[in-house]
A and B are shown apart, each in its own frame.
Chain A
Amino acid sequence: MKKTRRLSLALWCLAGIYLSVICAGFVAPYSFEVQDRLHPFVPPAKIHFFDSSGKFHLRPFVYAVRSSDENPMEYQEDHATRYPIAFFTRGDEYQLLGVFHSQRHLLGVNGPVRIYLLGSDGFGRDQLSRLLYGGRISLLAGLLAAIFSVTLGLLLGSIAGFYGGRLDDLIMRVADLFIVVPWFYLLVAIRAVLPLQMEPAATFLLVIVVIGVVGWGRPGRLVRGVVLSARERNYVLAARGFGASGNYLLRRHILPSTWGVVLTQMAVLIPQFILAEVVLSFLGLGIGEPVPSWGNMLAYAQQYHVLVSYWWMLLPGLAPIPVFFAYHVLADSLHARLQSVS
């Protein structure tokens, strides 16, 4: 059916994207911090199959770029040497998954020249590589924050719904506090509570915790609703009649009925939280230099001259689009399945 095909396409897409960013070291041609001050704001490389004399080459190649003498901001190709694109080239060293050291990259160019497939930024750093490394930060932060948030919501919501009474009132009042504030405002405010200058690893963890804490309110309320109604169902009553303990009821009847809500919330929140990390980094409250995140990369695009002249600097803003699309398809199909079961 068309719907399931869309869903599996979306899931494959997500898997591919996440895999690429996790193995950013390998997939990216260069490291994210190596600068080349001689080549700032180089436009994306033109890939050729035909050389200047009109000869066809099977392997695509690029030319080196040099800034022209009249206008240092313009670049011209130097047709003297061809640099074919190669696979598994040697390049900057990196650590794969924090364990393996390697110098092999998926693709690149052999020679002293750097290939800027998606252009370079103001410091001459390769945008493609930075996009991949940045994606790792933004996508993982979003994912982990969503897991944290939904888990917190599941925990507190279940307790509130199952035990009811005063505890329920208290937890829901606190949840309301988190729901009632417009959420970007709450996000930056809670971020403000914590130290502003920290090293990147700590900041990453911090950002995840902050986003997760800010967002637990709605999943918490939803889970509580499901637990509350499940608790009153006749089949729970019947099980109680057979002598079932509270733990049994939670485990066998009540918590399974929350899976639908939990999964749907995850699919809805992950894109939202990816955006949250991007926004925080954009505003200077998240990951900072030199570690790239889509947010702090986009911050450069705020400068007018960059925005107008160098369109490839907006790519970090376009990068989330396929990810969001895939998550929305996922969320829709989960939602539809939830409706049909109830």
Chain B
Amino acid sequence: MTRYLIRRLGHALLLLWGVATLLFILLQAAPGEFFTEMKLNPQISAETIAGLRTQYGLDQPLPVRYIRWMGSVAKGEFGYSFAYNIPVATLLWPRIRNTLMLTVPALIISWFLAVPLGVLAASRKGKWPDRVFSAGTSTLLALPDLLIALLFLLLALRSGIFPVGGMSSTAQEEGWWKSALDTIWHMALPVAALVVGSLPILLRHVRASMVEVLNSSYMRAAQGHGLFRNSLLYRYALRAAANPLISLFGLSLAGLLSVSLLVEVVMSWPGLGPLLIEAILSRDLFVVIAAVVFSTIFLVVGNLLADVLLYTFDPRIRMQ
């Protein structure tokens, strides 16, 4: 088991390194840099700009810059932000935490809703719960995520129940319990937007996997042996469906992370998303690379987790 994990981990690290390097090369080749704006400003002298460029090492050739950056990564700094003038990592950690605060609850809630509903729809295939289910998911699926985010924002503005944007409204001195509640209150709508966006596709996949399992011959054989209906559904069907469902986990996480970028921007949640957009518009190179790489790390970790779960639950994988 450990050998399996180590191999997957190594593979993942290689992938991350590939993504980072590819982005580094591509972004360096891009026209324009952080200081292009500054160059247009007549008030800032050329010497100042040149000095700043040397300070950030922008006057060095590409391979040298790459190695210096790799060194910074090894130190845990991940380069320097031109705009904020601090190590990228310092900038990133709070943002990463904030994005996780949205995506992890959304993931858990989506799965907790999708699995029972999907199983229900699959077991009553063709009858009215299933039809309602299909109609509902089809409709939700057709809603663009951007619209969903904007509608939730509208809800916040109109109803006044939920705060609009930001992470907290209380001052720092309040007790931790009050701060926690306050944060949850701020989180509610963004998480809801994420869930509504990712639920339909997850529901469909769960239902499809369950239908396939329920139609398989070993389910018919088990029925032929006179097993109880509940036992059939939960012990037999769900266990066998575990494999395709766990494989789905990675996909759903990927979708959720993607949409979180949008939701964070629209609902002004200070996560990785808005930071990335800001960095792109201002050409803050290392921030861009680090933000993308970190979002990938989440996905990779999620996939590794799914692999571990798969290993635990599916004996066929274990035997390989």
Contacts and interface: CB of A to CB of B under 8 A. Distances in A.
The answer to whether A and B touch in the complex, with CB atoms under 8 Å apart, is: yes
Interface of A: 173, 176-177, 180-186, 188-196, 275, 278-279, 282-285, 295, 298, 301-302, 304, 307-308, 314, 317-318, 320-322, 324-325, 328
A181 B146 contact: no
Interface of B: 15, 18-19, 22-23, 26-27, 29-32, 138-139, 141-147, 150-151, 153-154, 157-158, 164, 254, 257-259, 261-262, 265-266, 276-277, 280-281, 283, 288, 291-292, 295-296, 298-300
Given A180-B15, A196-B32, A320-B144, 10 more contacts: A182-B258, A182-B296, A183-B254, A184-B261, A275-B144, A275-B145, A308-B158, A317-B150, A321-B142, A321-B144
Contacts of A285: 280
A219 to B, nearest CB: 15
A266 to B, nearest CB: 17
B141 A324 contact: yes
Contact of B144 (A278, A307, A328): A278
B154 A194 contact: no
Contacts of B283: 192
Contacts of B298: 182
A189 B24 CA distance: 11
B22 A325 contact: no
23 contacts: A176-B15, A181-B19, A182-B296, A182-B299, A185-B291, A185-B292, A188-B261, A189-B23, A193-B30, A195-B32, A196-B281, A278-B146, A283-B265, A283-B277, A284-B281, A295-B146, A302-B153, A314-B151, A317-B147, A324-B144, A325-B138, A325-B139, A328-B142
B277 A188 contact: yes
B157 A181 contact: no
B144 A317 contact: yes
Given A275-B146, A282-B146, A325-B138, A182 B27 contact: no
B164 A192 contact: no
Given A195-B32, A324-B142, A325-B142, A183 B15 contact: no
A181 B259 CA distance: 13
Given A185-B292, A193-B30, A177 B147 contact: no
B100 to A, nearest CB: 13
A10 to B, nearest CB: 11
Those 3 A-B pairs whose CB atoms lie nearest each other, nearest first: A317-B147, A182-B257, A184-B258
A307 B143 CA distance: 18
B146 A298 contact: yes
B15 A302 contact: no
B261 A192 contact: no
Contacts of A192: 27, 30, 280, 283, 288
Contacts of B141: 324, 328
B257 A185 contact: yes
B280 A279 contact: no
A269 B153 CA distance: 27
Contact of B292 (A186, A307, A314, A324): A186
A171 to B, nearest CB: 13
A322 B139 CA distance: 10
Contact of B150 (A176, A190, A284, A314): A314
Most-contacted residue by chain A among B30, B31, B147, B296 (CB, 10 A):
B147
Given A183-B254, A189-B23, A308 B157 contact: yes
A177 B23 CA distance: 11
A184 B262 contact: yes
Most-contacted residue by chain B among A191, A192, A304, A325 (CB, 10 A):
A192
Given A176-B15, A177-B19, A189-B23, A318 B32 contact: no
A328 B204 CA distance: 12
A324 B141 CA distance: 8
Given A183-B258, A184-B259, A302-B266, A189 B280 contact: yes
A6 to B, nearest CB: 11
A278 B143 CA distance: 13
A196 B31 CA distance: 9
Contacts of B139: 325
A188 B289 CA distance: 11
A290 B300 CA distance: 40
